[in-house]
């Protein structure tokens, strides 16, 4: 018996492109800011994620093609950093800091309360698609522990009692 290998990229029907003209132009502009285009990979992943909400496989393939990298190299980078997600996220991303200062100041209680309120575990999204809950490492606000980051807003010295109003404010 002979095993035949197939290149998944050519053996399967091509997926619909996810990078539109504008995004490709943004990527090309970002490449010009770096000594070589491969060096622009991190900001490009940020840009695509900001636009698409996550980094689907097809986006990684297209980025690899534009940067003359292998899809595996782009996937390795996207998978290494916490700030990139390959799963679709909710409208708002809630990050609870679980590093030492925050943990000592009660981030565990905050996380527990959020899990109960939102009825999800870290890494999951609420049924209505509004919130995705994750844990994060130090947010650089240790003197205001426990800290919670919702989208771009940092909430300091958070208590469980404040969570309802914080969630309301985040989803205004
Ligand atoms: S430990 Fe939480 S912000 Fe630094």
* All structural domains of the chain: 12-80 (1.10.10.1590), 92-170 (3.40.30.10)
Ligand 1: lining residues by beta carbon, under 6 Å: 97, 99-102, 138-142, 145, 147
The answer to whether 143 and 156 are in contact (CB under 8 A) is no
Determine the residue of 82, 96, 97 to mutate for testing ligand 1's pocket, defined as the one with the most ligand atoms within 8 A of the Cβ atom. 97
The per-residue DSSP string of 131-168 comes to EEEEEES--S-GGG-S-EEETTEEE-S--GGGHHHHHH
Which of these ranges, 7-11, 17-21, 53-57, 120-124, has the smallest mean pLDDT? 7-11
**Percentage of residues in the chain having pLDDT higher than 70:** 94
The answer to whether 114 and 163 are in contact (CB under 8 A) is yes
Q: Is 124 exposed, middle or buried (0-12, 13-18, 19+ CB in 10 A)?
A: middle
What is the band of 90 on the pLDDT scale with cuts at 50, 70, 90?
A: very high
Radius of gyration, CA atoms only, the chain: 19
Compute, in angstroms, the gap from residue 15 CA to the centroid of ligand 1.
41
Q: Quick one: how far is CA 85 from the chain centroid?
A: 4
pTM greater than 0.75 (yes/no): no
Compute, in angstroms, the gap from residue 49 CA to the centroid of ligand 1.
25
Which residues have a Cβ under 8 Å from the Cβ of 17 and sit 6 or more positions away?
A: 58, 62
The answer to whether 132 and 94 are in contact (CB under 8 A) is yes
The residue with tokens 């947010």 is: 139
């Amino acid at each position: 018996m002979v095993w035949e290998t197939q290149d998944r990229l050519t053996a399967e029907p091509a997926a619909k492109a996810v990078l539109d003209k504008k995004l490709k132009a943004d990527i090309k502009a970002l490449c010009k800011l770096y000594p070589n285009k491969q060096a622009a990979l991190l900001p490009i992943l940020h840009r695509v994620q900001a636009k698409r909400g996550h980094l689907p496989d097809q986006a990684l393939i297209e980025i690899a093609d534009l940067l003359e990298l292998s899809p595996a190299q782009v996937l390795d980078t996207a998978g290494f950093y916490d700030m990139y997600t390959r799963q679709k996220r909710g409208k708002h991303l809630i990050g609870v800091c679980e590093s030492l200062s925050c943990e000592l100041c009660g981030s565990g209680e905050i996380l527990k309360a959020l899990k109960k309120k939102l009825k999800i575990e870290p890494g999951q999204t609420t049924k209505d698609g509004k919130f995705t809950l994750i844990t994060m490492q130090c947010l650089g606000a240790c003197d205001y522990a426990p800290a919670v980051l919702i989208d771009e807003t940092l909430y300091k010295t958070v208590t469980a009692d404040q969570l309802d109003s914080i969630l309301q404010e985040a989803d205004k």
